[in-house]
């Protein structure tokens, strides 16, 4: 959050009174929107608490946190790329290979277990897989200068293809002490995955929002020319963001193997929800920029929506439509208030 | 040659007889099934909340079973909590977790990969919620309502072997051996083929996929037909369900290789239509009765909650539809 305060004055230094005025107006609108989105979140929680049985129970809230762990880790990885690449959806930072990365890392983990390796080896193998995918993305974007949207799209296809080759499109079951521990319940009957998500988000937030490296990431994403002029290693920071995102994919893969007792097909379906979650995360930040905590909040927002709908026993054919409508409302509110 | 034939012990005519007997047995079983259903009108789920968890509803089978379950719970006076995971395992697990927190009077799980769902079915059982399943056998399920997949696999394999005259190469889609019904049907095919030394399953076996099952099967079969261009080099194509069969049938027809016959399971209306078309390569499709399976599963829930004991498995008869009897079968299923 200190980053927000650091960067905000930069806009005010712009020459011309008009810019000064619009910046102030923009800040007001942003504050209103941030408050608005948090209030909307709170209202939805209250409505569900009053109408949906079991919603407010500790077990249920733990469930939602646990169910959000995989998409949350992926969305946080994507957030780092959005920060370093700038949040223009077409030309800015994006990592479309994340969901496929999770699928391949999970497949690598499950295959390692099937081959008789232990948890330690499998964890390393999955993280190395994720990291390597990040390196390939970094080379394509920073080295070859391909637009991230296209570079990571191509890598996504390669990774999905590798997963098919490795798994032959079948489910690979895996059961190990670590996987059982992660998929079980921890203190207060809350799933271990819930604690994993919170711990991961806090560590990521600490690095991204409160260290000089994090501040540089924002500088590179928002004002690449200024960052370069100030002597920042722009290319290295962007490459680092893709590698960090790749590692998040590998980590999410491990969580997925644990949650699904093995590696399963169809990981690619996670992509769009994760992209939506990461983009939606901006409305939960003070300056409408991607932040780790904002992304965590938007992950939980989506998680609570899905959970609440099921508890309210809304017909399954309506759920994704209503969900999409709510997200559209929040996003259009952002866009309108930004003007 | 003739010696070999007698050594096999089963000739083509015997096979035809066998499949006719099997068909008759199935048909009479169907009559008995509907009679017992009508006799148990006093079942009730009044005041009960019954969770229905579907792996997906994008196939004829799941959709029919899912809708029939919801209707049956309502008809018996209960409240259905129905969730559909859209064939996404992550969503399926999340929905099961939430269902456990909702503490329904029973959970009925339709299909799903056993290794993925079983830990959560166990957690439901540990939480004191009775779990019943449709078409997926699990040690954590009190009762599994399903078609007799051993019978289905055997009937389909015998029909196939009979149609190709007990010799030739067959192509097999085996992408879902992890799904119990598919595994049983495949094993039965292998069991039958074992006794026909001149029937050979081509290696490598093909892998059917979800999604894009039809297009993918079409592409794979088209490529394979190019690899085996001679007429008669492939006699039949087998798949454990009938959506790959649909793509395979289209590919065979498009390549003008109508000497090849295709075989599958589920009784999807579009495939039954192909079987009914005398010019189509679709040879046979074993039709399950998904709506009847769904209703039976819910009636089992009602029996269980009324204190009755349930068998491990309840079999709902399946109907083999071939070129000769497909119209009767379609009529029985209420299609077309």
CA distance A262 to chain B (A): 7
**Structural domain boundaries enclosing A182:** 55-279+291-310
Question: Could you give the number of structural domains in chain A?
Answer: 1
Tell whether A23 is covered by a domain.
no
**B207 lies within 8 A of chain A by CB:** yes
Q: Is the pLDDT of residue B191 over 60?
A: yes
Residues A258, A110: Cα–Cα separation, whole Å: 10
Q: Is the distance from CB of A207 to CB of A218 less than 8 angstroms?
A: no
Q: Do A307 and B178 touch (CB under 8 A)?
A: no
Residue B103 forms contact with A (CB below 8 Å): yes
* Structural domains of chain B ordered from first start: 9-29+149-289+323-332 (3.40.50.2300), 38-145+290-316 (3.40.50.2300)
Burial class of A317 by CB neighbour count within 10 A (0 to 12, 13 to 18, 19+): exposed
Distances (CA, A) of A82 to A6, A217, A277, A293: 19, 10, 12, 14
Q: Do residues B224 and B247 make contact, with C-beta atoms less than 8 angstroms apart?
A: no
A67 touches chain B (CB under 8 A): yes
Chain B residue numbers with beta carbons less than 8 Å from the beta carbon of A264 are: 89, 113, 116
The verdict on residue A329 lying in a domain is no
Determine the pLDDT at residue B38.
Answer: 47
CB environment B304-333: b (16+ within 10 A), e (fewer): bbeeeebeeebbbbbbbbbbebbeebbebb
pLDDT of B244 reads 96
Phi-psi region of B47 (alpha: psi -120 to 50; beta: other; left: phi over 0): left
Taking phi over 0 as left and psi of -120 to 50 as alpha, with beta for the rest, B204 belongs to beta
Residue A156: inside a domain? yes
Structure tokens at B216: 């993918």
Assigned token pair, A114: 């099937």
Looking up residue A106, the CATH number of its domain turns out to be 1.10.3470
Suggest the residue from B80, B113, B220 to mutate for an interface test with chain A (most A CBs closer than 10 A).
B113
Residue B27 binned pLDDT confidence (cut-offs 50, 70, 90): very low
Is A79 touching B (CB cutoff 8 A)? no
| Closest-CA distance of chain A to residue B316, Å | 27
Low-confidence spans in chain A with pLDDT less than 50 = 1-23
A51 touches chain B (CB under 8 A): no
Inter-chain CB proximity A183 and B115 less than 8 Å: no
Q: With contact defined as beta carbons under 8 Å apart, do A334 and A33 qualify? A: yes
Q: What is the mean pLDDT of residues B101-115?
A: 93
The answer as to whether A39 is a domain residue is: no
For B319: left if phi > 0, alpha if psi spans -120 to 50, otherwise beta; the answer is beta
Tell me, yes or no, whether A41 lies in a domain.
no
- ipTM here: 0.81
Percent of chain B with pLDDT over 90: 75
pLDDT 10s digits, B194-240? 999 999 999 999 999 887 899 999 999 999 999 999 999 999 999 99
Q: Answer whether A311 sits within 8 Å of B87, measured CB to CB.
A: no
Q: Rounding to the nearest 10 degrees, give the CA dihedral for residues B300, B304, B308, B311.
A: 50
pLDDT at residue A322 in the model: 73
Q: Which three-class secondary structure state does DSSP give residue B48?
A: coil
Q: What is the DSSP string of A105-169?
A: HHHHHHHHHHTT--HHHHHHHHHHHHHHHHHHHHIIIIIS---HHHHHHHHHHHHHHHHHHHHTT
Report yes or no: B98 at the A interface, CB cutoff 8 Å: yes
Backbone angles phi, psi at A84, to 5 degrees: -75, -25
Using the Cβ of A101 and the Cβ atoms of chain B, whether some distance falls under 8 Å is answered with no
**What is the spatial distance between Cα A69 and Cα A76, in angstroms, rounded to a whole number?**
10
Residues A126 and A253 sit within 8 Å (Cβ to Cβ): yes
For residue B83, which residues of chain A lie inside 8 Å, CB to CB? Answer: 310, 316
Mean predicted confidence (pLDDT) in B327-335: 85
- Rounded to whole angstroms, how far apart are CA atoms A208 and A216? 9
Number of helices and strands in chain A (H, E): 15, 2
Q: Is residue A316 part of a domain?
A: no
In a domain, A139, yes or no: yes
A69-85 and A271-280 helices, crossing angle to 10°: 60
What's the pLDDT tens digit per position in A247-259?
Answer: 999 999 999 999 9
Q: Show the tokens assigned to B140.
A: 């954590």
* Interface with chain B: mutation pick from A60, A175, A261, A267, highest number of B CBs within 10 Å: A261
Subunit contact B90:A170, Cβ cutoff 8 A: no
Any CB–CB contact under 8 A between A306 and chain B? Answer: yes
User: Could you identify the residue written with the tokens 């990885």?
Assistant: A77
**Chain B environment of A317 (Cβ under 8 Å):** 84
Model confidence pLDDT, tens digit, residues B82-103: 999 988 899 999 999 999 999 9
B178: which chain A residues are within 8 Å (Cβ-Cβ)? 170-171, 173
Residues 6+ apart with CB under 8 A from A276: A302, A327
């Amino acid at each position: 959050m200190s980053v927000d305060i650091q960067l905000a004055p930069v806009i005010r230094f712009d020459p011309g009174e008009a810019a000064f005025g619009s910046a102030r107006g923009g800040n007001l609108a942003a504050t209103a929107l941030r408050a608005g989105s948090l209030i909307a979140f709170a209202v939805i929680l209250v409505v569900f608490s009053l109408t949906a049985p079991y919603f407010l129970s500790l077990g249920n809230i733990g469930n939602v946190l646990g169910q959000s762990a995989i998409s949350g880790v992926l969305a946080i990885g994507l957030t780092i790329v959005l920060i370093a690449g700038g949040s223009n959806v077409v030309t800015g930072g994006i990592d479309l290979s994340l969901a496929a990365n999770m699928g391949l890392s999970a497949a690598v983990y499950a295959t390692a277990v099937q081959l008789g390796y232990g948890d330690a080896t499998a964890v390393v193998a999955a993280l190395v897989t994720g990291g390597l995918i990040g390196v390939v993305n970094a080379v394509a974007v920073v080295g070859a200068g391909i637009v991230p949207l296209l570079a990571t799209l191509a890598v996504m296809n390669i990774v999905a293809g590798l997963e098919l080759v490795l798994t032959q499109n079948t489910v690979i079951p895996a059961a190990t002490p670590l996987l059982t521990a992660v998929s079980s319940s921890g203190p207060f009957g809350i799933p271990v995955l819930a604690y994993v998500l919170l711990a991961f988000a806090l560590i990521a937030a600490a690095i991204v929002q409160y260290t000089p490296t994090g501040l540089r990431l924002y500088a590179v994403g928002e004002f690449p020319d200024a960052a370069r002029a100030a002597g920042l290693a722009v290319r290295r920071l962007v490459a680092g963001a893709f590698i960090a995102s790749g590692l998040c994919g590998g980590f999410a893969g491990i969580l997925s193997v644990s949650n699904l007792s093995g590696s399963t097909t169809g990981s690619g379906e996670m992509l769009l929800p994760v992209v939506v979650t990461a983009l939606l995360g901006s409305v939960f930040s003070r300056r409408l920029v991607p932040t780790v905590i904002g992304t965590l909040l938007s992950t939980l927002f989506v998680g609570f929506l899905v959970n609440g709908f099921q508890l309210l026993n809304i017909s399954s054919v309506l759920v994704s439509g209503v969900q999409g409508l709510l997200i559209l409302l929040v996003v259009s509110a952002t866009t309108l208030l930004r003007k | 040659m003739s010696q070999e034939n007698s050594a096999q012990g089963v000739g083509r005519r015997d096979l035809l007889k066998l499949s006719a007997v099997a068909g008759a047995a199935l048909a009479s079983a169907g009559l008995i099934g509907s009679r017992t259903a009508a006799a148990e009108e006093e079942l009730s789920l009044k005041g009960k909340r019954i969770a229905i968890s579907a792996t997906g509803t994008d196939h004829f089978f799941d959709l029919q079973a899912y809708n029939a379950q919801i209707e049956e719970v309502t008809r018996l006076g209960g409240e259905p909590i129905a969730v559909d995971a859209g064939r996404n395992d992550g969503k399926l697990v999340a929905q099961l977790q939430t269902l456990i927190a909702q503490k329904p009077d029973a959970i009925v799980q339709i299909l799903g990969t056993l290794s993925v769902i079983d830990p959560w079915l166990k957690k439901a059982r540990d939480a004191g919620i009775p779990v019943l399943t449709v078409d997926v056998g699990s040690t954590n399920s009190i009762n599994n309502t399903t078609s007799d997949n051993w019978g289905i696999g055997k009937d389909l394999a015998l029909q196939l072997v009979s149609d190709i005259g007990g010799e030739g190469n067959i192509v097999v889609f085996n992408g879902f051996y992890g799904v119990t019904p598919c595994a049983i049907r495949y094993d039965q095919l292998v069991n039958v083929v074992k006794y026909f030394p001149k029937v050979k399953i081509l290696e490598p076996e093909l892998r059917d996929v979800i999604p894009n099952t039809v297009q993918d099967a079409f592409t794979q079969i088209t490529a394979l037909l190019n690899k085996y261009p001679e007429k008669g080099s492939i006699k039949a194509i087998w798949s454990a369900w009938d959506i790959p069969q649909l793509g395979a049938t289209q590919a065979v027809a498009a390549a003008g290789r109508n000497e090849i016959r295709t075989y599958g399971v589920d009784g999807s209306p579009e495939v039954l239509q192909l079987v009914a078309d005398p010019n189509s390569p679709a040879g046979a499709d074993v039709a399950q009765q998904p709506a009847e399976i769904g209703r039976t599963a819910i009636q089992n829930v009602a029996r269980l909650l009324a204190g009755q004991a349930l068998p491990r498995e309840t079999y709902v008869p399946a109907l083999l539809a071939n070129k000769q009897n497909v119209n009767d079968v379609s009529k029985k299923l209420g299609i077309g």
